[in-house]
Amino acid sequence: MKFLIWKSAYLSLAQSRRFYRTQKWIKSTQLDVKSKIFGVRYAYEDTKTNYGTLREVVQHTQKSIILALTAAIALQVVDQRISSFYPLLGLSVPEDGDYVSFFATISGIGGVFIGLYYAAISTVGSSIYATVPDDVRSLLARERFGDVYMRLLAFLTFFCLIMVSMRLTGMPRNYLAVVLASVGGGVGIFAFVALGQRVFYFFDPTKLALTVFKELNGWISKVEEGGNDWSDTNFQAHAQRNAARCISTIEALADTAIKQSHLSGDSLTELVRQSTSFLISYCERKPKIPTTSLWFEQKYRHYDWYATDDSRVSIAHQSSTQIQPEVVLDHFWFERRVEKVLLLSVRVSFEKKRYTHALKAIDCIDLYLNRLSQTGEVVRCHELLKALEDDIAAVLFKEPDSIVESIETIAVFERLSSLLVSVSLGFRKSVVATKASASEDFLNKINWLSSTDIYRHDVPHYGLHRVEWIKKRLTFEIEADGRQISPPWYISEIYSLEEALRFQENVSQLVDCESVHFHTLSKICDDAQKYWLAAAILSGENEYWAKLQYQVVLWAGAWEALTGDSRIKGLPWPKVSIDETNRTLRARQIDLISRMAQRMSLLYLTKKPEDCPDYPGQFLHTAGEYTFDSLIRNDVSFLETAFQNYLIGCFLMFEELAPDGDLTDWRVQQRYKVAAAALLDLLDISGYAKLLADFHNNNRLWEIVEERWLTYLKSVPRIRLLTLLSGAVAITESGFEISHRSILRTAWKQSVDGLLRQLPRVDIARNRLGDDSVADHKSSLVRRFANDRHGAFDDGLDVFIEFFVRKNGGEELDFGRRRRSLREALDREESVWKEIHSRREAE
């Protein structure tokens, strides 16, 4: 009923216009009231927020304000106590106007400098740092020099305002404050000049890397032995997280430098240099960090289902989960993160064809590898080299035609091939330091009850966990028995086992695994058809194997020092066979020379880059030396694989060097004699093949050489070739000077003479001056060369002429007046040998 009454009343009122006006006025009034209430509440909330912000500002600045106030009050107190002495020194405090004006001026200068500095920083930030990652942008605010300068300037400005305020409140004028403000103002003015120059450095973000490295250095020092809370695991993890953040900043700097072309040259190289220096210093500091420290990054190591114990597998199966992983520490997390910057620099420089910068980056890697191998981490060196190879391969295979074989690219690949040499030299230094008593000496000096002493004796990082293991047991032993029971030799031998295991691993890497490095680089170049780059790799590999062979003697001594006095039964000592290592190195080097010999022809057929080293000449000379050496060693396998290439290489070298022109010109003759030296080497070695085949009673040596010569004669006009050989010998030996490369051939002859002196001899009466003797050998050729105690007058050339040239169409050729017929001498030796046998039979 009431509802109907209200409804009828509403309908009647709704017929009036005033009703709607009244309704509109009521709603508008309600809206105004609500707006006022909302405004009051919003103003209250905004004021509350501003007050909180103001409080934060005051909290942030209160230390500086209190410091300035304290300094002003302290100066006021001190000044009042010594003011009586000013007249004695002839000093007077300035008048009020000058006093206030002076401090106001200093304060104004400070304000201007602050504004100018932040204006410059804003300009740099807007132009350079607008698009960089936050890590890099924060470096600009954390730049230490500018931050300290701004704090000093702010302090000086506020200090001057305080002094003016204190004077306005009636406090006496302060002479010491005038002096302090003058000195501070001078520092602020002159420092602003240096700061203004530094602002230009900010256009290069990599210049700020020094701040990051200083911060990194601080975090490392905190987890080293003796650092604050260095043994607290929570603090160790905190330091690790902050160090990882710093490394991320370095990576961001490198990425920024790469993206901006004007920074990807010298700036990126400087960042790499700083990173390398820090890595090298970290190698030296790392042994001071406990191996169980959470400074080393934690990671999961997952188990294989079929290689895990039954209980773990059963639990995982019943719970339908994975086998719970084990948390392990990555002791090389820091190095791997920073090494990425080094590798990235090489790759980017190579991609952008900035080979000078690539060389500088590789030089930095070289220094780091040398230091890393000195610490016994040859395996880590191998990992870094493998990553470097992958980057180089990616560049070459991506755009092989863009990489031109030039002196710059060849220099880069030569440097790459020499990295392993640095690794071997670094390992050599560590081997030289290995002595029988070295471990026992430093172990005896350790205070086993101290928690820090074991980290003060420069124990290599790889052996630190073993020393920690020994410490734990010796500490229990000393605490239980009151003294150390285990003898020093026992402790030393347990530690030496760790040294021996690492030594065996490093030698294995150097001898067996590291050959992959050269093969990989060579294959990368061959697949990209960069044959001269591959030649640079072969040249570096030759140096590497040669240096390793010289180190084997040191390895033998170091191994004897580590294992020679082992007395504890049952220790799993590794095995290192020096003889087997020598054989392996020999095989590696012979394989290399065979590949060099195969490479010569290909290099002669391709265009040589301008100013490129003479790799074909190096390979030919090396192949010749090893061919002769294989004859001395009675090594048939090397001759079978390499002699054919050596033979062809000698003729290609002659064609390369042979001059065009009239041979009657003495200058042309001299050049021709130089070109003919390769042919004389070939003839000399070929002749020694026959002599040494008789000496070793292995006719296969001569058969291989003869077969290769006959095969070559079938491919060219025989008489023309033999005439060329005779002319080369005759013109070379026609002069009175020492012929080109004759000293090298004389060294071969002396080696043969030394070998023949080992033959037994038979005494005979040869003349009236006394008894003489002949070599006891069935070959008349061997006896001919061995019978003269001062060395034979003949050489390999004479043998080759007699046993090959004369038998293959060169009977009438003239090899010059110095080349006598060897046949007559051999016939005389044969007659003497028959006489000796007849005499023996008669006796």
Rg (CA), the chain: 43
Taking the C-alpha atoms of residue 412 and residue 537, their distance in angstroms, rounded to an integer, is 10
Q: Which residues 6+ apart lie within 8 Å of 220 measured at CB?
A: 239, 243, 282, 285, 289, 295
Query: Given pLDDT bands bounded at 50, 70 and 90, which one contains residue 693?
Result: very high
DSSP 556-585: HHHHHHHHTT---TT-------HHHHHHHH
Taking the C-alpha atoms of residue 185 and residue 176, their distance in angstroms, rounded to an integer, is 14
Q: 650: buried, middle or exposed (CB in 10 Å: 19+, 13-18, 0-12)? A: buried
- Calculate the alpha carbon distances from 665 to 196, 661, 662 in Å: 71, 8, 6
Instruction: Express each pLDDT in 511-559 by its tens digit.
Output: 876 567 788 888 888 888 888 888 888 888 888 988 888 888 888 888 8
Task: Return the bridge partners of 770, or none.
Answer: 767
431-460 average pLDDT score: 78
Query: Given pLDDT bands bounded at 50, 70 and 90, which one contains residue 273?
Result: very high
Residue 449 has pLDDT above 90, yes or no: no
Q: What is the DSSP letter of 309?
A: -
Q: Which of 133-147, 356-370, 570-584 has the lowest mean pLDDT?
A: 133-147
- pLDDT of 683: 92
Mean pLDDT of the chain: 82
Query: Given pLDDT bands bounded at 50, 70 and 90, which one contains residue 177?
Result: confident
Question: Rounded to a whole number, what is the largest CA-CA distance in the chain?
Answer: 170
Of 773 and 391, the structure prediction assigns the larger pLDDT to 391
Query: Given pLDDT bands bounded at 50, 70 and 90, which one contains residue 338?
Result: very high
- Give the number of other CB atoms < 10 A from CB of residue 392: 24
Q: What percent of the chain has pLDDT over 70?
A: 87
Among 84-88, 513-517, 630-634, 793-797, which range has the highest average pLDDT?
630-634
- pLDDT of 131: 60
Instruction: Express each pLDDT in 729-759 by its tens digit.
Output: 888 877 777 788 888 988 999 899 888 888 8
Taking the C-alpha atoms of residue 433 and residue 253, their distance in angstroms, rounded to an integer, is 39
Torsion of CA 382, 383, 385, 391, to 10 degrees: 160
Phi-psi sector, 422: left (phi>0), alpha (psi -120 to 50), beta: alpha
Q: Which residues of 253-281 are buried (b: 16+ CB within 10 A; e: fewer)?
A: bbbbbbebeebbbbbbbbbbbbbbebbbe
3-state class (DSSP) for residue 19 = helix
Asked whether 396 and 403 are in contact (CB, 8 A), the reply is yes
- pLDDT of 336: 92
Helix (H), strand (E) at residue 770: strand 770-775
Nearest CA-CA partner of 619 in 586, 585, 642: 642
Q: What is the DSSP letter of 287?
A: G
3-state class (DSSP) for residue 274 = helix
Asked whether 795 and 745 are in contact (CB, 8 A), the reply is yes
Residue 419 has pLDDT above 70, yes or no: yes
Taking the C-alpha atoms of residue 684 and residue 702, their distance in angstroms, rounded to an integer, is 13
Separation of CA 615 from chain center: 25
Asked whether 627 and 642 are in contact (CB, 8 A), the reply is yes
Query: For the chain, what are the domain ranges?
Result: 21-203, 205-299+327-430, 498-717, 725-738+745-842
Query: Given pLDDT bands bounded at 50, 70 and 90, which one contains residue 280?
Result: very high
Separation of CA 594 from chain center: 29
Nearest CA-CA partner of 707 in 649, 647, 795, 757: 647
Taking the C-alpha atoms of residue 173 and residue 164, their distance in angstroms, rounded to an integer, is 9
Asked whether 772 and 792 are in contact (CB, 8 A), the reply is no
Taking the C-alpha atoms of residue 273 and residue 271, their distance in angstroms, rounded to an integer, is 5
Characterize the bridge pairing of strands 326-330 and 770-775: unpaired
Taking the C-alpha atoms of residue 172 and residue 302, their distance in angstroms, rounded to an integer, is 77
Query: Given pLDDT bands bounded at 50, 70 and 90, which one contains residue 598?
Result: confident
Characterize the bridge pairing of strands 326-330 and 761-767: unpaired
- Calculate the alpha carbon distances from 435 to 42, 424, 442 in Å: 81, 19, 12
Asked whether 554 and 431 are in contact (CB, 8 A), the reply is yes
Query: Given pLDDT bands bounded at 50, 70 and 90, which one contains residue 770?
Result: very low
Taking the C-alpha atoms of residue 75 and residue 103, their distance in angstroms, rounded to an integer, is 15
Query: Given pLDDT bands bounded at 50, 70 and 90, which one contains residue 769?
Result: very low
- Give the number of other CB atoms < 10 A from CB of residue 790: 6
- Give the number of other CB atoms < 10 A from CB of residue 223: 27
Among 33-37, 325-329, 824-828, which range has the highest average pLDDT?
325-329
Torsion of CA 66, 71, 75, 76, to 10 degrees: -10
Q: What percent of the chain has pLDDT over 90?
A: 14
Taking the C-alpha atoms of residue 272 and residue 263, their distance in angstroms, rounded to an integer, is 13
Nearest CA-CA partner of 172 in 95, 106, 98, 103: 95
Instruction: Express each pLDDT in 158-169 by its tens digit.
Output: 888 888 888 777
Can you read off the two tokens belonging to residue 384?
């870094």
Taking the C-alpha atoms of residue 640 and residue 594, their distance in angstroms, rounded to an integer, is 10
- Calculate the alpha carbon distances from 547 to 99, 421, 507, 675 in Å: 78, 8, 13, 31
| Residues present in the chain in total | 843
- Calculate the alpha carbon distances from 437 to 129, 440, 501, 561 in Å: 58, 5, 18, 8
Nearest CA-CA partner of 584 in 511, 647, 509, 507: 511
Residue 345 has pLDDT above 80, yes or no: yes
197-213 average pLDDT score: 73
Query: Given pLDDT bands bounded at 50, 70 and 90, which one contains residue 197?
Result: low
Q: Which of 141-150, 302-311, 592-601, 824-833 has the lowest mean pLDDT?
A: 141-150
Can you read off the two tokens belonging to residue 830?
């044969």
Query: Given pLDDT bands bounded at 50, 70 and 90, which one contains residue 621?
Result: very high
Of 138 and 447, the structure prediction assigns the larger pLDDT to 447
Torsion of CA 327, 329, 334, 337, to 10 degrees: -40
- Calculate the alpha carbon distances from 734 to 660, 685, 731 in Å: 20, 21, 5
